[in-house]
Amino acid sequence: MKVILVLKAIAFSVPILFSSLLASWNLWFILGFVVMSLFNYIWWHGGYVGSKYDTDFDFLEHYHWAILLSIISIFIDCFFPPLSSFVYGASMILWGDECFYQDHPFAVGSLHEKMSDRVGSILSIAWAFSVLLKLHF
């Protein structure tokens, strides 16, 4: 199980970490990181959310949102680079929370692991296409 966690952590972290090569690390990045840190803490760790297992979207994990924000960041960069850095900063805190503070990092051992893996794979493929589009144009 530990090997699976490491492999999934590597596979699903590639889009988020590789996006750092495309993003600008500046004050906007730090601001996005801080704002999402506060939002994440208040929302998930502050008790404002019931159990995610009470919804039909229990398979959505922090890293899914992080990859989605990385994709959005790539497209925003074409129009307004400072906002792109902000969004990428927000994605980094979600990725960090997934890696270090979740009971089931990358859904390993959870009841919804297979569905979560499918969503993560689809988002990772979408991210790869968005990088190819960015590099092409």
Per-residue model confidence (pLDDT) at position 3: 81
The more confidently predicted of residues 34 and 24 is 34
Give residue 55's pLDDT. 65
Enter the tokens of residue 70: 């990385």
Per-residue pLDDT reduced to its tens digit, 52-83: 556 677 788 889 999 999 999 999 988 888 89
| pTM for the model | 0.86
pLDDT tens per residue, range 106-119: 989 888 899 999 99
Q: Concatenated DSSP letters for 51-110? A: -GGGSTTTT--HHHHHHHHHHHHHHHTTT-HHHHHHHHHHHHHHHHHHHHT-SSGGGTTS
